[in-house]
Every structure is written in structure tokens, then in C-alpha cells.
């Protein structure tokens, strides 16, 4: 029976292997590479690097301690150690279980589809073996993980490769890898990517209009169906059915019957309202969803939160004065949790939810009346909630909130809303991802250990499970008041992932994932490459930008506006010098004057990587637009996985057979979109444009007479692309939890039977 257990364990481990899809330049700690202020003295990396001078010196000392006498082997080992400084070190050092002691060594010819340069075709792993197999190396980086594997005792004192490995093939099977279209390998020097021919941009985007309503957000239903949620800025959310492309159908949405109506809580104005919504990855089973909105404490008693202008950030709200007739922190930014787990055992079947908060996740008073951001997203790989927050408004961020590491304004936050620590239960966290196991019809809220979070939340416990009456939740009666939450520096009911940047930078507030943003407006994760976390950030006077967001990345505002140095008109909050930060500059963007020579553009609208095969000539391009609706861009990455993009303004028009006929801009062939508010993506990966005149979908180019040689014009609707062979099996966050639950249950059952 041992064999049965072994097979089950191997099966589960295979399913839980991490996503090995290609990544843009990232360091091993998931931070973005940077340009060193002074050249590294030991490692030959000096343009875009992952090591600072101190880390370079540490690598030099490690190399000297090896005491390698052979020049050829010495040179190779130095290059291997210095691979930590490579801008692609995250890709080179990753393994199934974490980080590896040495990079993946190239050990065969490069795939014809590889994005890596042909220099990697040399068998570097073989060179290492041939040069170092009989050379004594102290503290060898090849020794720790392999002792005992070739019959050598763990406490062996051997320092030659042949002492640990029986043959070259075994050695290279352990440390080697093939550079193909899904991974990189180390060939002895800085990773270099092929400069391929710049992809030809699509001839045009063809749109069909499927709805007349004006919406700010669209989120695909987590159950994978052809349904999606749409929300309006005043505060309503609807559940809609999306018709097949080319079917002639329109959006199945009843304006008179919203999924939830939050208009009584939401403060609606030009720059305020229901700004974001997110549905838990396991919504189909637990019914949890979240709304991000602005509120007015003078009109709603529930709008109560600590002011973001406070002594901790060097700001006095009494000195701010009113803004658009509103007092400082009269308005707040709120994330509230709701539930669709009401009358049915299947929340995915619910068509309405009650506007009753289950839990207040976050509340923060806003200093001014603009630049509130507000989008919320669940990370596809980690299951954490990402919260995009603007700088709070006013001309030029006068209090320099975006660069202030103690302020949450001008930041992207990363919160854990699954694990809720209680002050009364030190070391225990109750997971709100409750597991219904059918004991007397009640939902058992399981206790968890650290769960990858730091115990940072003090707040009330609310039973989410159906059938759980008052007093049955963990921590019942252990409510801690708002004053204590504020005393502990918190803004609501959440916990902090332990790998947030504060673990390395103690100056950062623990919620912060990235900083230096003005007003991030529409972010998205690439569905094929989750490390590509794209955010558009609105400019002040001159430049609109698109950024690749990475851990602890500083995107420059208000020191820079895009790639341009910014000179703020007022600085009561002080300035940040250009020499004191390592800004990450945008990968795409445009000048205001590119749109309107007289007025400039209004605001960038971030979009998505296009991953549908409905328009195969747009596949893989990042789409974004401007609020004025006169321009849509397609960004093409070249070389692939380099993080370097070229952009093209793409023509767009409306299909002649659109289900709802499009109006045209007077004197122009452009469809009258008026204002573009946002983009959306459904479960088929089709892209939608949400505008002030309705909902539009990107459809087959031939319907607008655009030429696309890849299109099958006879197809009415094309299925989404299957996964690339190099990506392997990819499980989402809820799927991984389901696999864990299934495997644990199966092993437990077998234990009882056997």
C-alpha cells in the first residue's frame, strides 16, 4: 500500500508545481532590476542589475572563500555566482520549492522558438563539469543539496564534483536546463534575448456595440461562465450575460434589477464613487465579494476612518483648507466585504445580494477630492487583494505623499483578506476561507497557523458560513474597537503577507507593495504571464504612462512624471531628490500633446494583454486608450519577455452588423465612444471597452473589413487559445486550495480504510 500513498503524493505535487511561464526582467526577490549608481567592482553587470555594491562585495568574498586554484574552473564559478546580479535572476534561480543555489545551467541546444540568444546554444553545464570535475572547491555551491544523492554521506568532506556526482549526465540532470520558449538558462554571461523582427501591429480593431449602459468596471464571473459583473460609478452592480461574438445578441443586463445597490453608502461625484469591485477567487463556493468606494462622513455614519493627513506623515489637516467645498478627510476611501451566500448553497447561482456589510476591510480619510484610484484586484498567483490608491489630489501632490513611505497615498497595497488574526488568540489565525464539511449543517471555520501572513489585523469576527448562528465564530466576543486598530497603525480588518516589501525596508508601511504613483487607473494581470502586472498611471501636465508593477518598485511620481523630471509648484511636504531614488520608468505611454495639440489629453486608461483568438492579429498586444476616446494603442513586446515595448496607435471602427448600431463622431469615421472609462475581459479572454455611450467588444477584423491573415473568416466565434506547451499545467489560487483539500481528504480516507 505504500505505493498507493506514493502515487497520490506525486500526483498532488505535480499539480501544485508553480507556474513556470516566462517572466520579464526580475530579481530573485521579485524586485525590478535597477541601474547602479556606481559600477560593480566584482561582477560584470552594470547596466540593469539585481545587486548593489554590498551584495557585489559579498559575492566576491564568497568566491575568494572557495579557494579555486584552476583558472578555467575559477572563471566559470565566478560567472555562476555573479548570475545573482543578472536582470533575469528570478527566472534563472527559480525551482519548484523556492530558490536554487546556482542558476539553471544551459545543457543542450536552444529551442528554435527560444527568446534567448543563440549564445545559449553552448552546453555550459558540460563546460562546468569538464573544467571543474577534479578541482577542489571549498564551500562549493553544488554541494549542499546533493550530498547523499550519489551515495556520499551527508557529512562528507569531499570538495570535488566527482565526489558528489557519479557522472556528467547526473550532474547536468540536476543543475542543467534547456532554454526554450518558456524558460531561460545561464550560459556563462548576462542573459541576452534575441532581437526579433518587430511584430506588425494589427491593421485595426473592429468593435461591436452590445450595450447602451455606462459602466466603470467589468469583472468576469469567477465560475468561468459567460456572465460578468458590471458596476456604475453611482454605486450599483449588475450581473449580466454576455452573448456570443457575431451572434447578433446584446448584453443580458436588467438595469432595474441590480445585483446589489450601494448608492446609499457611495459618495458620487466626478472623481468619486464606486471605483472598484473584486470577487473572491473561490466566490462560486464562498460567495465573498468586495466593493471599493468613496463615502461622505457628513451624509453616512458608516464613513468613519483615520485621516491620511496625519502627524505620522508630517501633515496637519487643519492647515489644508477646503477643496471643492469639502473639508480635509470629509471623504474616505473604503473597501467593504459583502456576501452572496444567502439563500442558496451555491453562491454562483445568486442573482442578488443584500447591501449589508459583512466586514469593513479598509477605511482611510482623503486629504483632497481627487486622485483616489480605488481599483481592487485579486492576484492570480497568490490570492492576495491588490488595492490601487492615488496620491490624494491637489496640484502636484504638494505633501509628497507618493514618495512618503509612511503614507498609503500614491501606492499599490497588497492585503491578505483570507486570514484574520485576533488579538485574543495570539499565534492563531482563523481563515475566512471557511471549509463546509457538513457537520450538522454548520460551517466550520478552520484554524490555521501563520498561513503566510503577519498578525496585523485586530477587529471583529463575523461568521460567514450559512448555518452558523451568533456566537459560533472563532473569537466571538473578542471585538476590538476602532481606536485600538488605529493605535496599532492599521486601517481595517486585514492581515499583511510576510513577503511584502516592509520585511526588507523597515521604513515602508507594511501594506505597501509599490510606490511613486499619481493615480493608477486600471491595472491588470496578464492571464498567461501573471508576473506581468500592468498599471496605467495618469499624468499631471505632460505624460501618461503604463508601468510593469513589481515588488517595492518606485515609479517616480512626484520626482518624475513618466520619464520627465517634474518640478512641483508647491512643496509644503518637502521634496525627494532625483539622486535618492531608483525610479522604474514606464514601458509605454504618450505625451499629452500627442492627442490634442490645443488641449492635451485627459487621462490614460489601462487595459489588458489581448489573449483571445477572436482577433488573432491582436493576440499578445497590450491594449490601452485615452479618456477622450480618440486613440487606442497596441503595445508589442520585443524581444519577447524583455519588458521592452513598442507602441502603435491602432485605427478602430464599428462593425456594420453590430447588434446595436454605432453612431459616428461628426466629421470623422470614428465611432462615437465619447469617453472611455475602462476595459474589461471575460472568461473567454475577449476584450471589452466601457464607454460613456455603451459597452463595445473587440471582434473579428473581417467584420470591419480589416485584413488579418490569421483569421478564419468562416468562424463565428473562436475558442480561447490553449496553453503554450512551455507553460505546462497552471492552477489558479482557488484551484490549488481545492487540490490541497482533495489530496488531504483522500490520504485521510485511505488512512482510515487501511
Cell of residue 296, nine digits: 461622505
Per-residue pLDDT of 640-665, as tens digits, reads 889 999 999 999 999 999 999 999 99
pLDDT surpasses 50 at 298: yes
pLDDT surpasses 50 at 332: yes
Handedness of CA 575, 579, 581, 585 (dihedral sign): positive
pLDDT surpasses 60 at 747: no
Mean pLDDT for the stretch of residues 3-27: 53
Query: 538: which residues sit within 8 A by CB, 6+ positions away?
Result: 371, 518, 519, 520, 521, 544, 603, 604
Q: How confident is the model at residue 571 (pLDDT cuts 50, 70, 90)?
A: very high
pLDDT at 9: 43
Q: How far apart are CA 187 and CA 602, in angstroms?
A: 47
Helices H / strands E in the chain, number of each: 10, 37
Q: How confident is the model at residue 126 (pLDDT cuts 50, 70, 90)?
A: very high
Mean pLDDT for the stretch of residues 461-490: 40
pLDDT surpasses 70 at 713: no
Specify whether the CB–CB gap between 372 and 272 falls below 8 A: yes
pLDDT at 7: 44
pLDDT at 483: 55
pLDDT at 143: 74
Mean pLDDT for the stretch of residues 353-375: 96
Q: How confident is the model at residue 470 (pLDDT cuts 50, 70, 90)?
A: very low
pLDDT at 196: 64
The residue among 712 and 65 whose pLDDT is bigger is 65
Per-residue pLDDT of 131-177, as tens digits, reads 999 999 988 888 755 443 433 444 445 588 988 888 998 898 888 87
Pick the range with the lowest mean pLDDT from 12-21, 387-396, 456-465, 735-744: 456-465
Q: How far apart are CA 126 and CA 109, in angstroms?
A: 12
Give the start-to-end residue ranges of the domains of the chain.
23-177, 205-417+494-704
* Residue whose C-alpha is closest to residue 673's, from 687, 663, 686: 663
Coil vs helix vs strand at 131: helix
From the centroid of its chain, how far is CA 280?
Answer: 15
Q: How confident is the model at residue 123 (pLDDT cuts 50, 70, 90)?
A: confident
Per-residue pLDDT of 545-562, as tens digits, reads 999 999 999 999 999 999
Mean pLDDT for the stretch of residues 399-415: 97
pLDDT surpasses 80 at 112: no
pLDDT surpasses 70 at 211: yes
Class of 205-417+494-704 in CATH: mainly beta
Q: How confident is the model at residue 669 (pLDDT cuts 50, 70, 90)?
A: confident
Mean pLDDT for the stretch of residues 75-104: 88
pLDDT at 593: 82
pLDDT at 453: 39
Mean pLDDT of the chain: 82
Pick the range with the lowest mean pLDDT from 99-103, 286-290, 525-529: 99-103
Amino acid at each position: 500500500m505504500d505505493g498507493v500513498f506514493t502515487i497520490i503524493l506525486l500526483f498532488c505535487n505535480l499539480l501544485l508545481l508553480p507556474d513556470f511561464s516566462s517572466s520579464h526582467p526580475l530579481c530573485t526577490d521579485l524586485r525590478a532590476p535597477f541601474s547602479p549608481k556606481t559600477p560593480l567592482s566584482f561582477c560584470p553587470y552594470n547596466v540593469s542589475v539585481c545587486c548593489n555594491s554590498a551584495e557585489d562585495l559579498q559575492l566576491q568574498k564568497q568566491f575568494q572563500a572557495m579557494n579555486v586554484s584552476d583558472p578555467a574552473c575559477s572563471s566559470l564559478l565566478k560567472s555562476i555566482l555573479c548570475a545573482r546580479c543578472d536582470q533575469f535572476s528570478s527566472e534563472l534561480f527559480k525551482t519548484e520549492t523556492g530558490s536554487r543555489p546556482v542558476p539553471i545551467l544551459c545543457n543542450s541546444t536552444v529551442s528554435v522558438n527560444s527568446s534567448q540568444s543563440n549564445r545559449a546554444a553552448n552546453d555550459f553545464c558540460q563546460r562546468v563539469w569538464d573544467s571543474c570535475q577534479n578541482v577542489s572547491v571549498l564551500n562549493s555551491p553544488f554541494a549542499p543539496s546533493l550530498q547523499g544523492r550519489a551515495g556520499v554521506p551527508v557529512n562528507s568532506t569531499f570538495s570535488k564534483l566527482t565526489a558528489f556526482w557519479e557522472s556528467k549526465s547526473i550532474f547536468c540532470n540536476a543543475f542543467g536546463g534547456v532554454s526554450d520558449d518558456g524558460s531561460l538558462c545561464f550560459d556563462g554571461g548576462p542573459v541576452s534575448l534575441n532581437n526579433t523582427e518587430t511584430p506588425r501591429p494589427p491593421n485595426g480593431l473592429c468593435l461591436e456595440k452590445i450595450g447602451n449602459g455606462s459602466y466603470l468596471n467589468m469583472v468576469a464571473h469567477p465560475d468561468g461562465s459567460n456572465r460578468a459583473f458590471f458596476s456604475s460609478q453611482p454605486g450599483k452592480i449588475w450581473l449580466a450575460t454576455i452573448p456570443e461574438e457575431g451572434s447578433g445578441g446584446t448584453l443580458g443586463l436588467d438595469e432595474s434589477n441590480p445585483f446589489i445597490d450601494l448608492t446609499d453608502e457611495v459618495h458620487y461625484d466626478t472623481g468619486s464613487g464606486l471605483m472598484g469591485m473584486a470577487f473572491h477567487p473561490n466566490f462560486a463556493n464562498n460567495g465573498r465579494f468586495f466593493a471599493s468606494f468613496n463615502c461622505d462622513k457628513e451624509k453616512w455614519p458608516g464613513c468613519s476612518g483615520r485621516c491620511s493627513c496625519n502627524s505620522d506623515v508630517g501633515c496637519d489637516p487643519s492647515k489644508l483648507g477646503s477643496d471643492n467645498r469639502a473639508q480635509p478627510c470629509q471623504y474616505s476611501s473604503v473597501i467593504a466585504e459583502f456576501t452572496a451566500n444567502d439563500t442558496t448553497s451555491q453562491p454562483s447561482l445568486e442573482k442578488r445580494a443584500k447591501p449589508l456589510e459583512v466586514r469593513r476591510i479598509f477605511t482611510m480619510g482623503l486629504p483632497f477630492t481627487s486622485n483616489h484610484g480605488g481599483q481592487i484586484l485579486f492576484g492570480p498567483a497568490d490570492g492576495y487583494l491588490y488595492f490601487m490608491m492615488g496620491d490624494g489630489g491637489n496640484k502636484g501632490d504638494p505633501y509628497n505623499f507618493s514618495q512618503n513611505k509612511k503614507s498609503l497615498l500614491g501606492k499599490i497595497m497588497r492585503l491578505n483578506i483570507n486570514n484574520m488574526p485576533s488579538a485574543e488568540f495570539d499565534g492563531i489565525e482563523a481563515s475566512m476561507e471557511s471549509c463546509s464539511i457538513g457537520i450538522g449543517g454548520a460551517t466550520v471555520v478552520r484554524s490555521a497557523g501563520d498561513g503566510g501572513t503577519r498578525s496585523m489585523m485586530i477587529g471583529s469576527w463575523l461568521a460567514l458560513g450559512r448555518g452558523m448562528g451568533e456566537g459560533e465564530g472563532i473569537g466571538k466576543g473578542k471585538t476590538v474597537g476602532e481606536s485600538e486598530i488605529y493605535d496599532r497603525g492599521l486601517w481595517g480588518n486585514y492581515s499583511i503577507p510576510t513577503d511584502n516589501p516592509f520585511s526588507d525596508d523597515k521604513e515602508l508601511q507594511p501594506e505597501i507593495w509599490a510606490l511613486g504613483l499619481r493615480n493608477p487607473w486600471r491595472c491588470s494581470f496578464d492571464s498567461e504571464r501573471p508576473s506581468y502586472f500592468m498599471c496605467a498611471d495618469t499624468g499631471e501636465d505632460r505624460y501618461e504612462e503604463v508601468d510593469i508593477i513589481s515588488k517595492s518598485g518606485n515609479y517616480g511620481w512626484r520626482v518624475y512624471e513618466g520619464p520627465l523630471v517634474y518640478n512641483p509648484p508647491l512643496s509644503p511636504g518637502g521634496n525627494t531628490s532625483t539622486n535618492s531614488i531608483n525610479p522604474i520608468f514606464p514601458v509605454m505611454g504618450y505625451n499629452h500633446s500627442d492627442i490634442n495639440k490645443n488641449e492635451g489629453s485627459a487621462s490614460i486608461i489601462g487595459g489588458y494583454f489581448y489573449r483571445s483568438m477572436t482577433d488573432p492579429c491582436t493576440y499578445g498586444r497590450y491594449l490601452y486608450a485615452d479618456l477622450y476616446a480618440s486613440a487606442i494603442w497596441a503595445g508589442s513586446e520585443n524581444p519577447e519577455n524583455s519588458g521592452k515595448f513598442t507602441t502603435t496607435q491602432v485605427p478602430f471602427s464599428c462593425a456594420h452588423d453590430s447588434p446595436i448600431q454605432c453612431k459616428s463622431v461628426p466629421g470623422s469615421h470614428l465611432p462615437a465612444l465619447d469617453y472611455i472609462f475602462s476595459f474589461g475581459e471575460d472568461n473567454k479572454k475577449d476584450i471589452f471597452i466601457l464607454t460613456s455611450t455603451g459597452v463595445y467588444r473587440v471582434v473579428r477584423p473581417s467584420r470591419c473589413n480589416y485584413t488579418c491573415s490569421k483569421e478564419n473568416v468562416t468562424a463565428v466565434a473562436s475558442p480561447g487559445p490553449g496553453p503554450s506547451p512551455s507553460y505546462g499545467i497552471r492552477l489558479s489560487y482557488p484551484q490549488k486550495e481545492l487540490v490541497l483539500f482533495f489530496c488531504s481528504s483522500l490520504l485521510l480516507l485511505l488512512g482510515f480504510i487501511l
